[in-house]
Amino acid sequence: MSSLVECRNVTKCYSNGRPAVYNLNLTLEKGHIIGLLGPNGSGKTTLIKMINGLLKPTNGEVLVNGILPGPETKARISYLPERTYLEAQRTVKDIVDFFGDFYEDFRKDRAYAMLDALHIEPTARLKNLSKGTKEKVQLILVMSRDAELYILDEPIAGVDPAARDYILRTIIANFNPAATLLICTHLISDIESILDEVVFIRDGQITLQTSVENIREQQGKSVDQYFREVFAC
Amino acid sequence: MAWNLDNDRPIYAQIVERIQLQIVSGIYKPGDKLPSVRELAAVAGVNPNTMQKAFGELERSGLIITQRTSGRIVTENEHMITEIKKELAKEHVERFLEKMRELGFEKKEIMALLESDK
């Protein structure tokens, strides 16, 4: 079986000197929930944007399902960016309809079930929702697609712990065993129980890719503890 | 999350222990059907692959059995369940004795303490 994402000698330079990602190699298989972990400025978001086709590598290549990122791969990737791109004037229902029109794999019933469970009114306008509720709406939209690859950039940072639990449970319950979920976050201890693999990134390079159970078994530590040790300042 | 698992020990091993305990204590009875991997993963708040691995381990030990048509059930071999119960009890006793020895108690004193606790 071929891998889902393949990065080969990928380098990305912005105009200001030091590359954000340098000669990076990474393979992500199908059917895993993977944590992409690294300190600030380590290249996480740059890497994610290249997988999404929002940035082009300066050198090397990124392949998704064996092809270069483009309309075909974007139809199969559900991406939660760091920052919102939704219009604040619109209602939740408007946006659900918009997603339903835009993505073939969008499941409206799933979106409404999750909105209901988190007590979010479909008639509410985005601008009138709290920061955390807005984040919940975005995450619900992203998880309501039947994608092959979900990429979540800091998905739970602004969400209260109870809703975090619900969201994580929802992710597991809806998770298609053939799909892959890449979660980029600093809140490691909150999510590590749902991960099966972690990728550590530092200075634009992958420093570790392993199963989380390996870390627990070999280091006798949680992923969170291990991360703090590896990236100690 | 729901199952209060420690993140510094392999999670599948903790799930195995937990389900074992639920079986020997009779929460799941011999022949009972177990929830699906996905259901239980969502309840426990763990990765489905981890839950799968725990189930694999329990199947290897014979404590749970996969049936082609009706999912997984608890073994009906009550002798096996009793044996596992004894084993777990032995582990607990050993751990207890070790702690007591650390505290400086001799076997006789420990016995006397246990008697007086009745």
Which comes out higher in pLDDT, residue A174 or B80?
A: B80
Interface contact B8-A225, CB threshold 8 A: yes
pLDDT at A169: 83
- How high is the mean pLDDT of chain A? 91
Distance between CA atoms of residues A33 and A180, nearest Å: 6
pLDDT tens for A80-92 read: 998 888 889 999 9
- What CATH number did the domain enclosing A202 receive? 3.40.50.300
pLDDT category of residue B2 using cuts at 50, 70 and 90: low
Distance between CA atoms of residues B47 and A169, nearest Å: 10
B5 Cα to chain A: minimum distance (Å): 8
- The mean pLDDT value for B98-107 works out to 92
Interface contact A32-B12, CB threshold 8 A: no
The architecture (CATH level 2) of B1-76 comes to: Orthogonal Bundle (1.10)
pLDDT tens for A96-138 read: 999 999 999 999 999 999 999 889 999 999 999 988 899 889 9
Query: Which residues, including other chains, have CB under 8 Å from residue B46's CB and lie 6 or more apart?
Result: A172, A193, A194, B3, B5, B11, B15
Q: Is residue A184 part of a domain?
A: yes
pLDDT at B98 over 60: yes
pLDDT at A178 over 90: no
Interface contact B41-A31, CB threshold 8 A: no
pLDDT at A140 over 70: yes
Q: Is residue A98 part of a domain?
A: no
Q: Which residues of A touch B41 (CB under 8 A)?
A: 172
Percentage, residues of chain B above pLDDT 70 = 97
Q: Is residue A17 part of a domain?
A: yes
Type of residue found at B40: L
CB neighbours of residue A42 within 10 Å = 21
Q: What ipTM did this prediction achieve?
A: 0.78
pLDDT at A160 over 90: no
Burial A105-127 (b: 16+ CB within 10 A, else e): ebbeebbbebbeebebebeeebe
Distance between CA atoms of residues B56 and B58, nearest Å: 5
Interface test with A, best of B49, B51, B52, B57 (most A CBs within 10 A): B49
Q: Is residue A178 part of a domain?
A: yes
Q: Which two tokens stand for residue B24?
A: 């020997």
A92 Cα to chain B: minimum distance (Å): 27
For A43, which DSSP code?
S
Distance between CA atoms of residues B82 and A231, nearest Å: 48
Q: Is residue A45 part of a domain?
A: yes
Q: Is residue A180 part of a domain?
A: yes
Q: Is residue A96 part of a domain?
A: no
Interface contact A192-B7, CB threshold 8 A: yes
**Which has the closest alpha carbon to A204: A61, A45, A34?**
A45
Interface contact B10-A31, CB threshold 8 A: no
The total number of structural domains that make up chain A: 1
pLDDT at B1: 47
B70 Cα to chain A: minimum distance (Å): 20
Taking CA–CA distances from B37, the nearest residue in chain A reads A173
